[in-house]
Amino acid sequence: MANSWFQFQRFRINQDNCAMKISTDAVVLGALADAASPREILDVGTGTGVIALMLAQRFPTAKIQAVEIDPLAASQALDNFRANAFSERMQLWKGRFQDFQTQEKYDLIVSNPPYFPGHLKSPDVQRNMALHTDELSFQDLLGKVLQLLQGDGQFWLILPPRQMQDFQEEAEKHGLFPEAKFTLQDKPGKRILREICSFSRKQTEVKATEIFIKNEDGTPHKSYVVLVRGFLLNF
């Protein structure tokens, strides 16, 4: 059973009311997502709020807006925001991303989105909402991101390889193209678990950078250590 809380170096995340607990996916995305001196950052589907908090730590002058559809997760994320040193720069909006209204344009948008289709659901409604695309399809996500992204802004997300291929094909139809790409593997030689990509309106050649969580002997790999240093305890 996952802990009801997770302690980072500079903040603590309570997660007992969230369907999706702290994961390597979220931590890696929070550590990688980047843009040139972002002033306005948007986290779509914030869950526990961990990615938003990591970005608030990394970009000390940026304002962070988070969106979350699940009422329990939204309430807990807001509590997590208020209980840390970055609270004055953080806001949360509860509801469907498709319904989110703002006059703001964002330099950096991030998302750890749902990616499973509607079949093979579990009895857990809250978990289904976090994992399945019923409430936020790739098309809806991209359409709204295009409305909210600055002309030179960056949109970052993390997905399994197959889903990232589907997402990239849809993104290019919307005029967004890969600008940076990372692959995440447990160890060298193992299969790719996730891809982390940045999309922008520029078309450019992209070469993937490999990230490994562990060495063959089980110790943390340097590529992972460099990413999470300053965030996770004992790194």
Q: What is the CATH number of the domain that holds 11?
A: 3.40.50.150
Q: What is the pLDDT of residue 48?
A: 96
Residue 198: domain span: 5-228
Q: Collect contacts of 103-106 with beta carbons under 8 A, ≥24 apart.
A: 104/40, 104/65, 104/148, 105/40, 105/148, 105/149, 105/150, 105/153, 106/38, 106/40, 106/41, 106/42, 106/65, 106/148, 106/149, 106/150, 106/153
Q: What is the pLDDT of residue 22?
A: 94
Is residue 207 in some structural domain? yes
Q: What is the pLDDT of residue 118?
A: 56
Is residue 233 in some structural domain? no
Which pLDDT tens digit goes with each residue over 75-101?
999 999 999 999 999 999 999 999 999
* Distance in angstroms (rounded) separating the CA atoms of residues 86 and 53: 8
Mean pLDDT within 154-160? 97
Given a cut of 70, is residue 120 above it in pLDDT? no
Is residue 61 in some structural domain? yes
Q: What is the pLDDT of residue 122?
A: 56
| Total of domains in the chain | 1
Is residue 9 in some structural domain? yes
The pair of three-digit structure tokens given for residue 16, joined into one six-digit string: 């007992």
Position with higher pLDDT, 2 vs 163: 163
Question: Which range (35-44, 131-140, 157-166) has the least confidence?
Answer: 131-140
Amino acid sitting at position 27? V
User: What values do phi and psi take at 88, rounded to 5?
Assistant: -65, -20
Is residue 234 in some structural domain? no
Given a cut of 50, is residue 210 above it in pLDDT? yes
